[in-house]
Amino acid sequence: MSTPAPSNAHSNAQIIRDSFALLAPHAGKLMDRFYERLFTRAPQVRSMFPADMTKQKAHLAAAVGLVVKHADNLAALEKPLLDMGARHVNYGAKPEHYPVVRDEMLGAIKDVAGPVWTPAIHAAWTDALNAVAAVMIRGAEPAQRQAA
């Protein structure tokens, strides 16, 4: 009797965990590379961030770690992501920023991963980051209506 193929969500979660295990020792480099890429591509967002990025990078690294931890059940992060999306409205984040952030995070992961980067890793991280962004954007909507 053969073992059933893992579900796509399960296999994506495993790909994310495996790739992050390789990236985690380089988390500082990953955060540095992400913000370097982001501010190069979208210099207008630089003013949304503090001059000293030390805490910001630590917060983002922790958030990425939570996505990795819950990669097989991102719904567990729904409430914190909704809240984070609402908070990001106060920082000036707009829905159109999310694809830029996703693309630059993917690029930073690829840059740091180097030769271990594969299309499967790209697809798994893209799916996870899109899911995170969708919930954050949904969380931002009430705050955006209040601000309007």
pLDDT at 143: 83
The 3-class secondary structure across the chain, one letter per residue, is CCCCCCCHHHHHHHHHHHHHHHHHHHHHHHHHHHHHHHHHHCHHHHHHCCCCCHHHHHHHHHHHHHHHHCCCCHHHHHHHHHHHHHHHHHHCCCCCHHHHHHHHHHHHHHHHHHHHCCHHHHHHHHHHHHHHHHHHHHHHHHHHHHHC
pLDDT at 144: 81
pLDDT at 8: 65
pLDDT at 5: 39
State pLDDT tens for residues 124-140: 999 999 999 999 999 99
Which domains does the chain carry? 8-147 (1.10.490.10)
Mean pLDDT per 10-residue section of the chain, whose length is 148 residues: 46 95 95 98 96 96 95 94 94 94 98 95 97 96 82
